[in-house]
């Protein structure tokens, strides 16, 4: 089952270039397009989703709890340190104008939460921490350099699908992507990144619902 290693590596390089083009050209919904490419990639290689990191979490309830706690801590760091620092360094703030109507609107909150756990968490994590991280690492080879390259490339491209949030939004999203990638690599499963991504989105949406857009604690 699967392609010979050399052919698989050449194919992976082509896939990474194609995926980068999809993101840079903002083709349709880039993350959804990448998921389609991931499906085609698995079909051509005759591989299962597990090769992209879709493994059952070891001790799932305990691991999920740890991931949620770590995500809460990471979000606090983002709000308390990273966001304010980026605001002052760049002279701009994250553009959250797309959520201006969310404050106090429970129906919209529920709709966005559903979207954030499906299109946001599941689809984007499949595309970036599953597919793109795996294929980029495969191109470089094995070892630390390959893993770091995979994390950097997939995180940078993830940041670029958030250009509507301005420079600070792109940088924050890229840093979130590094956090999600570390969880995926440490647990050996994309599901941990899905949980972290969904939790992060939930915190952000509920915050806007209660108090409006927050771009830092100071």
pLDDT at residue 218, as a whole number: 85
Residue keyed to tokens 């991280």: 133
15-38: pLDDT as tens digits: 999 999 999 999 989 999 999 999
Burial of 45 (0-12, 13-18, 19+ CB in 10 A): middle
Q: Are 173 and 159 in contact (CB under 8 A)?
A: yes
- CB neighbour class for 68 (10 Å; exposed up to 12, middle 13-18, buried from 19): middle
Tell me how far apart the alpha carbons of residues 175 and 163 are, in angstroms, rounded to a whole number: 14
1 has a pLDDT exceeding 70: no
Neighbours of 202 (CB within 10 A): 20
User: Treating both helix axes as pointing N-terminal to C-terminal, what angle do 60-77 and 166-187 enclose, rounded to 10 degrees?
Assistant: 150
Q: Phi and psi for 57 in degrees, rounded to 5?
A: -65, 135
The fraction of the chain above a pLDDT of 70, given in percent, is 99
Question: What does the angle CA 163 – CA 188 – CA 117 come to, to the nearest 5 degrees?
Answer: 45
- Rounded alpha-carbon distances, angstroms, from residue 59 to 64, 66, 89, 99, 192: 8, 11, 42, 36, 12
| Domain range summary for the chain, segments of one domain joined by + | 5-211
Q: By the 8 A CB rule, do 189 and 56 touch? A: yes
Q: Is the predicted pLDDT of residue 66 greater than 70, yes or no?
A: yes
Mean pLDDT of 39-44: 96
Q: What are 69-105's pLDDT values in tens digits? A: 999 999 999 999 999 999 999 999 999 999 999 999 9
The pair of structure tokens assigned to 25 is: 């050209």
pLDDT higher than threshold 60 for residue 189: yes
Work out the average pLDDT over 122-146. Answer: 96
- What CA–CA distance (Å, rounded) separates 178 from 163? 17
Distances (CA, A) of 52 to 17, 41, 47, 60, 148: 18, 10, 9, 19, 17
Token pair of 195, please?
A: 């949980």
For residue 2, pLDDT beyond 90: no
Tell me the backbone φ, ψ of residue 152, rounded to 5 degrees. -65, -50
pLDDT score of 207 more than 60: yes
Instruction: Output DSSP code: residue 59.
Output: S
């Amino acid at each position: 089952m699967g392609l010979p290693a050399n052919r698989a590596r050449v194919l992976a390089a082509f896939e990474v270039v194609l995926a980068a083009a999809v993101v840079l050209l903002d083709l349709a919904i880039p993350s959804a397009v990448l998921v389609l490419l991931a499906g085609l990639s698995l079909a051509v290689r005759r591989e299962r989703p597990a090769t992209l990191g879709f493994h059952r979490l070891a001790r799932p309830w305990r691991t999920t709890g740890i991931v949620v706690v770590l995500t809460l801590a990471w979000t606090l760091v983002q709000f308390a340190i990273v966001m304010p620092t980026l605001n002052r360094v760049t002279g701009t703030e994250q553009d959250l104008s797309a959520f201006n109507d969310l404050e106090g609107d429970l129906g919209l909150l529920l709709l966005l939460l559903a979207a954030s756990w499906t299109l946001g968490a599941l689809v984007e994590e499949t595309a970036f921490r599953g597919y793109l991280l795996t294929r980029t690492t495969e191109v470089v080879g094995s070892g630390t350099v390959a893993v770091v390259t995979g994390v950097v490339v997939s995180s940078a491209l993830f940041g670029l699908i958030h250009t509507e949030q301005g420079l600070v939004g792109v940088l924050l999203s890229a840093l979130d992507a590094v956090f999600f990638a570390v969880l995926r690599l440490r647990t050996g499963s994309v599901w941990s990144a899905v949980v972290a991504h969904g939790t992060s989105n939930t915190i952000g949406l509920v915050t806007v619902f209660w108090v409006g857009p927050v771009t830092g604690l100071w």
